[in-house]
Amino acid sequence: MGPLSPVRTLRLWGPRSLGVALGIFMTIGFGLQLWGGPFQRRLPGLQLRQPWAPSLGADVQSCVPRQHLVFLKTHKSGSSSVLNLLHRYGDRHGLRFALPARYQFGYPRLFQASRVKGYNPQGGGTQPSFHILCHHMRFNLKEVLRVMPSDSFFFSIVRDPAALARSAFSYYKSTSSAFRKAPSLAAFLANPRAFYRPGARGDHYARNLLWFDFGLPFPPEMRIKRGSPNFPKDPNSLHLHILPSSAGSRAHVPDPNALSQLAPTVADGRSQPASPATLDLETSSFIQWGIAWLDSVFDLVMVAEYFDESLVLLADALCWGLDDVVGFMHNAQAGGGQGHSAASHGELTAEDRQLTARARAWNNLDWALYLHFNRSLWARIEQYGQSRLQHAVAELRARREALAKHCLVGGEALDPKYITDNKLLPFQFGSAKVLGYVLQSGLSPQDQEECERLATPELQYKDKLDAKQFPPTVSQPLKTSRLFSP
336: how many CB neighbours lie within 10 A of its CB? Answer: 21
Q: Tens place of pLDDT for every residue, the chain, 486 residues?
A: 444 444 344 333 333 333 444 444 444 443 433 333 322 322 233 222 343 333 333 444 589 999 999 999 999 999 999 999 999 999 999 999 999 999 999 999 999 999 999 998 876 555 678 999 999 999 999 999 999 999 999 999 999 999 999 999 999 999 999 999 999 999 999 999 999 998 898 999 999 999 999 999 987 666 654 333 333 333 233 332 322 222 233 233 333 233 333 333 333 333 333 333 444 544 478 899 999 999 999 999 999 999 999 999 999 999 999 999 999 999 888 876 544 444 444 578 999 999 999 999 999 999 999 999 999 999 999 999 999 999 999 999 999 999 999 999 999 999 999 999 999 999 988 778 899 999 999 999 999 999 999 999 999 999 999 999 999 876 555 443 333 333
| pLDDT value, residue 125 | 56
CB 164 within 8 A of CB 131: no
**What three-state secondary structure class fits 138?**
strand
How far apart are the C-alpha atoms of 210 and 362, rounded to whole Å? Answer: 13
Comparing CA positions, the residue from 10, 15, 21 lying closest to residue 285 is: 21
> What is the Cα–Cα distance from 245 to 83, expressed in whole angstroms?
29
- Helices 79-93 and 458-469, axial angle in degrees (round to 10): 30
Is the Cβ–Cβ distance between 225 and 219 less than 8 Å?
no
Distance CA 310, CA 400 (A): 15
3-state secondary structure of 286: helix
The residue among 360, 460, 404 whose CA lies nearest residue 159 is 360
Q: How far apart are CA 3 and CA 12, in angstroms?
A: 16
Predicted pLDDT of residue 474: 61
pTM recorded for the entire structure: 0.75
Q: How many Cα atoms within 13 Å fall on the side-chain side of residue 102?
A: 5
Residues 6+ apart with CB under 8 A from 258: 372, 375
Q: What is the CA radius of gyration of the chain?
A: 23
Q: Hey, what amino acid is at 263? A: A
Q: Are strands 271-272 and 132-133 parallel, antiparallel or unpaired?
A: unpaired
